[in-house]
């Protein structure tokens, strides 16, 4: 049965709430305002986007889209580590209000949740989507329609959640949507486990990169992310490349993100995530004004119960220690919600 947008909307778990929001264009406002142009539109104007789409599509025949480098032919139905087919599988798409404030704005971040994942962490907070691949398989044209729908209802960006294994589909859908009027930034919301070669293909297409930096130690990465011992080195290089492409986060006059890097780091129990090493590396390698979100919302999910070291939530003390490290190394652009939580815990401790 052909999967239509109407069908998807009916089955999406979250979309109902999105229908409450009225349209808002990123470019709405005074007639003489200069229109902000997304990177992918500039690339299309230069005639280079179509070539990148062809190069990306070729990856499916010998899949090397991520550092797992499975080499499977996804066009022939073969599946690699991520178990993803050649078409994108979508769990849901909707305005998301739980992201960073500069992505959410008034109308929400236009999140598209792709099923399957190339990292597969034991503590995955989205495990029914990422590990079990729940969702609907769709075509690239449908994906383009979803992007346009999110823009139409006022979302400030297209937030591509776990995009690595479907990057070629995203590029193809972006060009289709561009021809029909897409003009808001793409947010590449990734685990950070990305190949440099693939990121270079995205140069000039993505305006906002939002990588995780999950661990700084190879043994932790291997243990909790399915043998990905190279995660720390690979992700550090990936973040440097992302920064080279788009730089420090820039906001428009309304405080909405339009270009740059947002680094996310989830504090884990028992210093598993290596927060101090991360902030030291950032302070020594990137501008101190790099936006970093040190997150406190770790919870025990999926198979984390099998690992005593991570089978509990974090304490206020562990979060404060992480935030104190960021301060100690001079990072100046910490996520405001993390700062507010830090201030709350500090206040509570001092009373």
**Which residues of the chain form contacts with ligand SF4 (CB under 6 A)?**
63-66, 68-70, 72, 80-82, 84, 118, 165
Tokens for 312, please give them: 């509990």
Please identify, using beta-carbon distances, which residue of 44 and 140 lies nearer to ligand SF4.
140
CA distance 301 to 123: 5
Residue 90, φ and ψ in degrees, nearest 5: -115, 130
Minimum distance, C-beta of residue 67 to ligand SF4, in the bound complex (Å): 7
Min CB(74)–ligand SF4 separation in Å: 6
Closest to ligand SF4 by CB, 5 vs 83, is 83
198 vs 323, beta carbon nearer ligand SF4: 198
- Taking the complex as a whole, the smallest distance from the CB of residue 84 to ligand SF4 amounts, in Å, to 6
Q: Which residue is nearest to ligand SF4 (CB)?
A: 80
Residue 68 Cβ vs ligand SF4, minimum distance, rounded to whole Å: 4
Q: Which is nearer to ligand SF4, 63 or 221 (CB)?
A: 63
| Pairwise CA distance, residues 205 & 188, whole Å | 10
CB 304, min distance to ligand SF4, A: 22
> Which stretches of 153-305 are DSSP H helices?
167-179, 196-202, 218-224, 231-246, 275-285
**Which of 56, 86, 54 has the alpha carbon at shortest distance from 72?**
86
What does the alpha-carbon distance between residue 335 and residue 64 come to, in Å, rounded to a whole number?
33
In sequence order, what DSSP letters do the residues of 194-220 get, joined into one string?
--HHHHHHHTTT-SEEEEB---S-HHH
Closer of 79 and 312 to ligand SF4 (Cβ): 79
């Amino acid at each position: 049965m052909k999967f239509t947008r109407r069908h998807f909307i009916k089955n999406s778990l979250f979309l109902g709430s999105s229908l409450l929001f009225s349209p808002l264009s990123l470019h709405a406002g005074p007639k003489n305002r200069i229109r902000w142009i997304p990177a992918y539109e500039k690339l299309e104007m230069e005639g280079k986007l179509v070539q990148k789409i062809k190069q990306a599509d070729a990856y499916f025949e010998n899949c090397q889209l991520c550092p797992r480098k499975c080499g499977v032919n996804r066009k022939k139905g073969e599946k690699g580590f991520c178990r993803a087919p050649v078409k994108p599988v979508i769990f849901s798409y909707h305005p998301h209000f739980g992201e960073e404030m500069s992505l959410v704005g008034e109308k929400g971040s236009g999140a598209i949740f792709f099923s399957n994942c190339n990292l597969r962490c034991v503590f995955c907070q989205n495990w029914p989507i990422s590990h079990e691949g729940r969702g609907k398989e769709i075509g690239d044209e449908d994906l383009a329609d979803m992007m346009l729908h999110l823009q139409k209802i006022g979302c400030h960006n297209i937030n591509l959640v776990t995009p690595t294994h479907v990057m070629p589909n995203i590029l193809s859908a972006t060009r289709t949507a561009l021809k029909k009027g897409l003009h808001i930034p793409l947010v590449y919301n990734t685990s950070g486990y990305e190949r440099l070669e693939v990121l270079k293909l995205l140069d000039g297409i993505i305006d906002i990169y939002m990588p995780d930096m999950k661990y700084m130690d190879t043994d932790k990465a291997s243990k909790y992310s399915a043998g990905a011992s190279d995660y720390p080195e690979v992700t550090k290089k990936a973040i440097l490349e992302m920064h080279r492409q788009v730089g420090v986060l820039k906001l428009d006059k309304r405080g909405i993100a339009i270009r740059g890097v947002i680094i996310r780091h989830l504090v884990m129990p028992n210093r598993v995530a290596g927060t101090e090493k991360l902030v030291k590396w950032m302070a020594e390698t990137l501008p101190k004004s790099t936006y970093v979100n040190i997150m406190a919302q770790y919870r025990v999910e999926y198979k984390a119960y099998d690992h005593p070291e991570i089978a509990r939530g974090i304490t206020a003390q562990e979060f404060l220690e992480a935030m104190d490290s960021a301060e100690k190394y001079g990072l100046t652009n910490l996520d405001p919600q993390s700062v507010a939580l830090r201030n709350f815990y500090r206040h509570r401790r001092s009373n």
